[in-house]
A = this chain, B = another copy of it.
Amino acid sequence: MLLPAPYGTGLEHVSEPIPIIGATGALGWGLAMRLARAGESIVIGSRSAERAEEAAARVREVVPDAAVEGLLNDEAARRGPIVFLTVPFRAQSENLNNLREVLEPEQILVDCTVPTAAAVGGKATRTLGVWQGSAAQQAQEMVPDGVTVIGALHTVSAKTLSEPDAELGEDILVCGDRKADKARVARIIELVPGLRAVNAGPLETARIVEQITSLLISVNARYKTHAGLRVTGLGDDDHWG
């Protein structure tokens, strides 16, 4: 189960299931639906097996031949080498505490949480200071030794991602300490049409990237839209080879 995933061209499929913890929410569900539509095998995790299966059923409504199942979080997290964590920031610590017994060395945890002040009843256009510097760095501190945290998917609109007919055309900033790990996550992200993964630097760069979500939420309110982000000047090469 924990073998390196065999991909290279970005056009091949990932051979193992992709667990998405918190995929009952819009961000995780949108990712699940779009990856399922790209032919990936998806495992939706939730605190409730019933809600997990219900979310899986909703994926099958959009993608009739989807390979998707809904399980409790701890069962889901065992099912693939790269686990996405898409819960709200206020639930991040609780989830990571629960996953501590489950995650194994060599697994990658993709932390998608954003510490907006909404987590404590404040404005989503403002952020919380996280002691470790960022939610991703907090996650790195909380996972078992040998588990690598990658930060990603902060700037894509959960609403857009979860609307089956909405077109995407934006970048995902990927933060992590080893390029090879980031590349594995990038290959999954780029299975979603319209998403490009950009190497944003070491995990500590999540301090900056996570904040951009609040900026975009502020832009959304002002422009009545669901904004995303594109980095200009990168050229069309594959930077993950």
Contact = CB atoms under 8 A, between A and B. Distances in A.
A234 interface: yes
Contacts of A229: 229-232
Residue with the greatest number of chain B CB neighbours at <10 A, chosen from A160, A208, A223, A228 = A208
Instruction: Classify chain A's interface size.
Output: 35 or more
A227 interface: yes
Interface stretch (A44-52, A72-80, A196-204): A196-204
A183 interface: no
Given A173-B215, A211-B207, A201 B125 contact: yes
Contact of A228 (B169, B226, B232): B232
Interface string A154-189: 000100100000000110010000000000000000
Contacts of A230: 229-232
Contacts of A215: 173, 200-201, 205, 208-209
Interface string A204-230: 110111011011101100110111111
A222 B208 contact: no
- 4 smallest CB-CB distances across A and B, nearest first, come from A228-B232, A201-B218, A230-B230, A208-B211
30 contacts: A125-B205, A127-B208, A160-B233, A198-B219, A199-B219, A199-B223, A200-B218, A201-B218, A205-B218, A207-B211, A208-B211, A208-B212, A208-B215, A211-B211, A219-B231, A223-B239, A225-B233, A225-B234, A225-B235, A226-B233, A227-B231, A227-B233, A228-B231, A228-B232, A228-B233, A229-B229, A229-B230, A230-B230, A230-B231, A230-B232
